[in-house]
Amino acid sequence: MKSASCVIFTAGDWCNLDMIRPHLEHQPAVLACDGALATCLENGIVPDAVVGDMDSVDASVVKRFVDLGGRVHRREEQESHDLSKALVLAEELGHRSCLVVGATGGDREHEWANLLTCAASTIDIECPGNLHTHRFFSHDKSHSIEIEEGERFSLFGLPVAEGITLSGAKYTLEKATLNMGSKGLHNVAVASALNITYTGGRLMLLKHHPSVKAEERS
């Protein structure tokens, strides 16, 4: 796995795969949580590795995967769930950015668990969904986020993000601090890209897809 980025498939509700295929065309490393392995293979996706305690996948599916050249990372600790194990593995393999498929949508409790797990990581993570995308930024580089003019977005400190500089938005920021709360809600893009840097903590961006109607967002 030589790519600096990876895609992690979880057992949650996946977004439309048409949103994911452009990422796969760049040949990133692909990891699957054990509960997502069968769905990956059914969709013609052969991950580089599967991770978990292997209690959510049939042995026959694992055998088929291994026969295809896949690697199994069995991690049986019960204090963390499979996405947490996959993100730890991604960091161990040197990946600095990650697309997580299936983190949102469906069961609300699992969605919260997944988002909090992403917030606790240190790498750059994007969680695409059919209605919106969550993006968790690392603070070791500048970020340029493609967006349509007039599109709304929100920024959150988890639990705090410091030294935030933001341009391309109606409400710009200059070395600002965001704590958990409503201070970063409902900003509006005024350019085709948001430019973001920050110096410490964890920062999350939530943006709705331009095609999503207001009633669907609620």
Report residue 111: phi and psi, to 5°.
-60, -45
Residues of the chain with CATH 3.40.50.10240: 5-130
- Looking at residue 12, its pLDDT comes to 87
- Per cent of the chain over pLDDT 90 is 71
At residue 1, the pLDDT reads 44
Superfamily of domain 5-130: Thiamin pyrophosphokinase, catalytic domain (3.40.50.10240)
Q: Which residues of the chain have pLDDT under 70?
A: 1-3, 78-79, 210-218
The reported pLDDT for the residue numbered 176 is 96
Which CATH code for domain 143-217? 2.60.120.320
Q: Give dist(CA 81, CA 120) in Å, integer.
A: 13
Q: Environment class of residue 151 by beta-carbon count within 10 Å: exposed (0-12), middle (13-18) or buried (19+)?
A: middle
Q: pTM for this structure?
A: 0.90
**Residue 91: both structure tokens together:** 């960091």
Residues 124-144 as b or e (16 or more Cβ within 10 Å = b): bbbbbbbebbbbbbbbeeebe
Rounded CA gap, 75 and 97, in Å? 22
Domain with CATH 2.60.120.320 in the chain: 143-217
Question: What confidence score (pLDDT) does residue 214 get?
Answer: 44
